Structures are given as C-alpha cells and as structure tokens.
C-alpha cells in the first residue's frame, strides 16, 4: 500500500473543460473503490485565462448527467510546484510542450492509457463546440485504465465492502 497519497494532475488549456472533467471522474472512481486515502486528483491549466472560475457549464452538465460531483472545482494555472505530482496527464501535445520543464519529463497524454488507441492520440477541446459528452466518452476509459495501472503499480486494495473488498482494483 502507498504510504502517502498518490497525486494525479490533469492538465488542459484553461482548466475549465477537459482537465476538471477528468479530475472529477477520477475522484468519483477513487471514492467508489474506497481508495480516497491513497489517490488524490487535481487539475490545472496551461493558461490563467479562467483562473478561479468554475468549470464550463458544459462540463458541469455532463458530470451531473453521470451523477459525478463538480463541487469545489476551480480553474488554476499550473506551476513548477506541480512537478511534485506522481502522474501529470495532459490532454494534447501542445499542453505537453507548454508545461514547466520540471513537469514535462513526467507527463503523458491521457489517451495513451486507452487500450486500442494510438499513444499520441489527443482529447479535443470541447470549448465553444458543445461536444462535452464526446469528451467524457474519451476521458472515462482512459481514466479507468490509469486508475487500474496506479492500483497495480502501488499495490492498492479497495477498502469498500462491495465485491472489490480486499482485492486489487
């Protein structure tokens, strides 16, 4: 078991669409598997355009449709301190190039976690297009696989009383 929480940071452009959606979904999955003491999700944006704002209404609507809380999500800009995250997961290659150097070396594209996808596939930006449900459909299998990989790598076991109790996630 991990001694301190494993920190996962999702990064997109303004931190109001893709990365907060991935953060909220990972939080939801972590809680449902009883792994909240072991895995912490966060998100940030390359830009500070929306700093302090809630996610885009399209993101919040999709999360609510899937009974996932968007509470407490606020846009912020990535900093060098974010290099302390264990996993830095970006939505597209432009985000990778724009990361602070200390973060860039440990970053990976989110869709690289999706089985059957090319490792350089990107999650498109739904801002202004109202394609938030499509983005959710891209993000969720990748986040699920990322969580499985984290659980395997760090030997995390579920603390829930359901069918996963005492088993590797």
- For the beta carbon of residue 131, count every other beta carbon within 10 angstroms: 16
Would residue 18 show up in a list of annotated catalytic residues for this protein?
yes
Q: At what angle do helices 57-65 and 18-32 cross, to 10 degrees?
A: 20
Would residue 157 show up in a list of annotated catalytic residues for this protein?
no
Active-site entry in 17, 18, 27, 82: 18
Active-site entry in 86, 121, 125, 164: 125
Nearest to 18 by CA among 143, 129, 135, 147: 135
Would residue 81 show up in a list of annotated catalytic residues for this protein?
no
> Using CA atoms, how far apart are residues 34 and 49, in angstroms rounded to an integer?
35
> Using CA atoms, how far apart are residues 154 and 38, in angstroms rounded to an integer?
9
Nearest to 5 by CA among 99, 84, 100, 89: 84
Active-site entry in 12, 29, 82, 92: 12
- The residues annotated as belonging to the active site are 12, 18, 125
């Amino acid at each position: 078991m991990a001694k301190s929480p494993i920190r996962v940071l999702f990064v997109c452009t303004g931190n109001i669409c893709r990365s907060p959606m991935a953060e909220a979904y990972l939080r939801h999955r972590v809680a449902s598997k009883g792994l909240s003491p072991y895995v912490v999700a966060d998100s940030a944006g390359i830009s500070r355009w929306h700093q302090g704002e809630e996610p885009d209404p399209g993101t919040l609507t999709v999360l609510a449709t899937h009974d996932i809380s968007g509470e407490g999500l606020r846009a912020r800009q990535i900093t060098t301190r974010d290099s302390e995250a264990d996993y830095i997961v970006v939505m597209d290659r432009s985000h990778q190039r724009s990361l602070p150097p200390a973060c860039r070396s440990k970053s990976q594209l989110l869709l690289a976690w999706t089985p059957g996808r090319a490792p350089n596939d990107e999650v498109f930006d739904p801002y202004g297009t109202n394609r938030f449900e499509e983005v959710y459909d891209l993000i969720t299998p990748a986040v699920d696989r990322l969580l499985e990989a984290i659980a395997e790598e760090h030997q995390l076991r579920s603390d829930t009383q359901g069918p996963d109790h005492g088993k590797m996630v």
